[in-house]
């Protein structure tokens, strides 16, 4: 067993136009002040990180790590969530997702997809130059608009969607394999990979690719009624990244999982700051320690109530208190008998 690394902070929700949130150095120093030891960098945020330069230049990556090291911070992973989303966009969602892409490719589905694939692929080279072994992303979606089958789905629709999704991702996974980096998909509603079954379907279509792994986030499971603790038992060999995020599910006589089109504050299923939801983090950290999870515990803030700066301040000690310093000895070693093989055989009546 090994002790989970952390706490780390995902920066995507903290980026802003005012200091200290407008530069990587500023936000790293701010995070370090709360006790964070690493940051997960959103690679689409150019004021923080130039993915194109990072993929091509070791000097640039060394500059990034050097600036962070001066503030007692390292990079936990690169995130390509935004670009990964654009690898596969259902037509009905295209107008909204267009704004995730640069102006030059908006309105052109193929150009947008090509740009996204290039970006996620560059994430492999950039991760290697930064000395990282994991990266986190979204799968995108082709089948999600058909998640609830009415009218009846045409036979073969889902299989065709997953074949196409795998066709787009297989070369990307190969690039991550060449770079020695695990690509960890965040299983998330609105993505085609949103639970264990859909992950297995995708894994089968990419030939059980060894770089196809999971960014574990219990908040997405509790909101859809999935056993998020047993999930670890089933998929621990593929869990290579970990978002620490809380959530709650409070169904009523009026709404349930789908939450009646309500805003976040009024939903039965909603995200919360750490300790304010229903996720049993003691069980999660225990399970991950039991299965020798080697990665970082990364706080991702999403909450309809608490201010992000206050949530970040509370998040670092919350994670630190849940990380288990794993034991290097058995608790009853003091009572060891010291019996040799001959004694053991006599105890069994075999001498």
pLDDT tens for residues 239-259?
A: 999 999 999 999 999 999 999
User: 3-state DSSP call for residue 182?
Assistant: strand
Distance of alpha carbon 135 from the chain centroid: 8
CA distance 251 to 278: 13
- pLDDT number for residue 295: 98
CA distance 146 to 250: 25
Other beta carbons within 10 Å of 45: 16
331, pLDDT greater than 90: no
Helix axes 281-290, 308-322, angle to 10 degrees: 50
Q: What are phi and psi of 290, to 5 degrees?
A: -60, -40
Which domains does the chain carry? 5-347 (3.20.20.150)
Q: What is the pLDDT of residues 314-324, one digit of tens each?
A: 999 999 999 99
Which whole number is the average pLDDT over 106-129?
A: 98
110, pLDDT greater than 80: yes
Provide the CB-side half-sphere exposure for 338 (13 A, CA).
1
- pLDDT number for residue 1: 85
CA-closest candidate to residue 218, choices 248, 255, 198? 248
User: 3-state DSSP call for residue 214?
Assistant: strand
Q: Higher confidence at residue 340 or residue 165?
A: 165
Distance of alpha carbon 330 from the chain centroid: 33
> What proportion of the chain, given as a percentage, has pLDDT over 90?
93
CA distance 239 to 292: 10
Which whole number is the average pLDDT over 327-334?
A: 79
- pLDDT number for residue 329: 82
Q: Which helix (H) or strand (E) holds 283?
A: helix 281-290
**pLDDT-based confidence at 96, cuts 50/70/90?**
very high
CA distance 13 to 315: 14
Place of tokens 């998020």: 228
Q: What does the DSSP 8-state code read for residue 246?
A: E
**pLDDT-based confidence at 47, cuts 50/70/90?**
confident
CB neighbour list of residue 100: distance below 8 Å, 6 or more residues apart: 44, 82, 83, 85, 86
Give the range among 13-22, 270-279, 334-343 with minimum mean pLDDT. 334-343
Q: String of b and e for 191-229 (b: at least 16 CB within 10 Å)? A: bbbbebebbebbbebbeebebbbbbbbbbbbbbeebebe
Dump the DSSP string for 116-161: HHHHHHHHHHHHHHTT-SEEEE----SSGGGSS-SSPPPTTHHHHH
- pLDDT number for residue 308: 97
Structure tokens at 2: 């090994």
Give the range among 62-71, 92-101, 177-186, 341-350 with minimum mean pLDDT. 341-350
- pLDDT number for residue 327: 87
Which whole number is the average pLDDT over 198-212?
A: 98
CA distance 5 to 244: 12
Q: What is the pLDDT of residues 124-161, one digit of tens each?
A: 999 999 999 999 999 999 999 999 999 999 999 999 99
Other beta carbons within 10 Å of 23: 14
CA-closest candidate to residue 140, choices 180, 91, 107? 91
**pTM (2 d.p.):** 0.95
334, pLDDT greater than 80: no
- pLDDT number for residue 179: 98
Which whole number is the average pLDDT over 223-249?
A: 98
Which whole number is the average pLDDT over 150-174?
A: 97
Cα–Cα distances in angstroms (integers) from residue 139 to residues 94, 102, 259, 337, 346, in the given order: 15, 19, 24, 54, 59
CA-closest candidate to residue 205, choices 191, 186, 192, 217? 192
């Amino acid at each position: 067993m090994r002790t989970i690394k952390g706490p780390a902070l995902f920066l995507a929700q903290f980026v802003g136009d005012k200091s200290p949130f407008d530069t990587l150095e500023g936000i790293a120093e701010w995070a370090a002040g709360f006790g964070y030891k690493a940051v997960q960098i959103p690679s689409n945020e150019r004021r923080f990180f130039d993915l194109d330069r990072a993929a091509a230049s070791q000097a640039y990556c060394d500059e990034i790590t050097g600036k962070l090291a001066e503030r007692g911070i390292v990079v936990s992973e690169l995130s390509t969530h935004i670009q990964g989303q654009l690898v596969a966009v259902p037509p009905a969602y295209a107008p909204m997702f267009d704004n995730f892409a640069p102006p030059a490719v908006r309105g052109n589905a193929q150009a947008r997809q090509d740009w996204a694939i290039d970006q996620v692929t560059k994430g492999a080279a950039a991760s290697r130059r930064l000395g990282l072994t994991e990266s986190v992303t979204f799968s995108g979606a082709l089948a999600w608009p058909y998640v609830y089958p009415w009218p009846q789905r045409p036979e073969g629709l889902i299989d065709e969607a997953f074949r196409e999704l795998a066709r787009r991702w297989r070369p990307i996974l190969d690039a991550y394999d060449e770079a020695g980096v695990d690509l960890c998909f965040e299983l998330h509603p609105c993505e085609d990979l949103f639970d264990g079954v859909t992950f297995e379907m995708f894994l089968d279509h990419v030939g059980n690719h060894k770089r196809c792994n999971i960014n574990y986030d219990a908040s997405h499971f509790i909101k859809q009624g999935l056993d998020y603790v047993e999930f670890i038992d089933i998929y621990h060999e593929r869990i290579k990244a970990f978002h620490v995020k809380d959530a709650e599910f409070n169904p009523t006589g009026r709404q349930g999982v789908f939450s009646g089109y309500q805003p976040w504050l009024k939903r039965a299923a909603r995200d919360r700051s750490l300790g304010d939801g229903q996720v049993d983090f003691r069980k999660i950290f225990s399970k991950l320690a039991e299965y020798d999870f080697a990665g970082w515990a990364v706080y991702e803030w999403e909450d309809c109530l608490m201010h992000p700066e206050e949530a970040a301040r509370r998040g670092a000690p919350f994670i630190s208190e849940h990380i288990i310093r794993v034991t290097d000895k058995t608790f009853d070693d003091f009572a060891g008998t010291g019996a040799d093989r001959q004694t053991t055989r006599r105890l069994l009546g075999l001498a």
